[in-house]
Structure formats: C-alpha cells, structure tokens
Amino acid sequence: MDDLFAPIRANETLGLGAVFYPGAALHYQQTLMTQLRTIVAEAPLRRLMTPGGRFFSVEMTNCGTLGWHSDQAGYRYEPRDPLSGHPWPAMPDNWARFARDMAARAGFGSFDPQACLINCYAPGARMGLHQDRDETALDSPVVSVSLGLEARFLFGGANRTDPTRRVTVLSGDVIVWGGKSRLAYHGIAPLRPGYHELTGERRWNLTFRRVRAG
C-alpha cells in the first residue's frame, strides 16, 4: 500500500495526556478492516439524530458490551442495538488488546475498553467540536484509530473557545487522549474526496472508551 512508502512521521504530544502516534496501527489495518466488515454486517451503519433533531453527517455503529446512541431523548450508552434489539457485536480480542497497548504506551496502564464507537465518513462528512463526556469513567483515556482516507483532526482544550490544533491523520494513525486532556474538545473537518486502497472513498474511525468505572 502507498502508506508503506510514506515519510516517517514522529510521535507528537498534543496536550497533557494526549499523544499522536503516526502509523501505529499500519501493520494491523488490513486485519482491522476485515473484522470491521463482519461487525457492520451484524450491526449496520446508521445516521443518528441529535437531541435537537438534526442528523449526523457521519454513519455510525458500535461493538463491545455497550454502544453509544443518540436520538431526541439524548446521548447515552445502550447495552443493545436499538435497531435490532440484540446485544452489540462483541469487541474482537485483538482490538481490545491493541487499544490497551496503545493506552499503556501513552501512560494509561489500566485501560480496559467496554465500547468501540465506529464512525464512517464519506466525502463532506464531518464531526463538529465536542467533548466525549457521556462516560462516567473519565479517568480512562480515549483511543482513536484511523483507517482509510486522510482526515484533518481538530484538537483543542477544555473550553470550546480554546485554540484548536489541526493534525493530518492518515490510515493507521492512532491518537490517545486522557488525564488533563480527557475532556478536550475535538472533531474532524469535512472529509475531502479521495480514494484509498483499503477503504475506497471512505474514512473509518474506531474510538475505544471505558464507559463505566469498576
């Protein structure tokens, strides 16, 4: 793949407890994508509604013991897929192991993910600045894995008005944020059109979270 010939990029600290690891999942991305297709076949992608009645531009699904959901009743985690009534697909053991390893690499050795929120971006789709605050286990980090098309990741501070950094993320890149950066505002700028051998005209993002303490 073209990624194998990309220039070497250095790890980068984005904030206290936030680290960018370029290419950390590069050698696992084909396996991740194969398993991802199986998960999506069981729990199909859907465009969720915000509490305000607007639809996200990103398509979403989940795997793990809990899955993130949004509708006019609010943002929350559910133990079952509201579309099917069945439990969410199990998180593959190698996914959980990789997420734990990346969290430990960033200094969060006790991370044990319960949920993986899966986002699929088509050209033009975006994710506005937001905080991941629907979890009660805020002492655990978020581990984010990018697959496919290049994206512009936005990373700010604890307040929406704080300065925002723009980081180019490629397929196989990983970002971990926790500690003092756990509630940092972050998002994705509108995805530019393109093609990637792994994912075609799409970008996929896996975000691993510990939802509840204990």
Please count the other Cβ atoms lying within 10 Å of the Cβ belonging to residue 94: 12
Tell me how far apart the alpha carbons of residues 180 and 16 are, in angstroms, rounded to a whole number: 6
pLDDT < 50 stretches in the chain: 1-2
pLDDT at residue 193 in the model: 98
Contact (CB, 8 A) for 55 and 47:
yes
Tell me how far apart the alpha carbons of residues 173 and 153 are, in angstroms, rounded to a whole number: 11
pLDDT at residue 8 in the model: 77
- Considering the entire predicted model, what is its pTM? 0.95
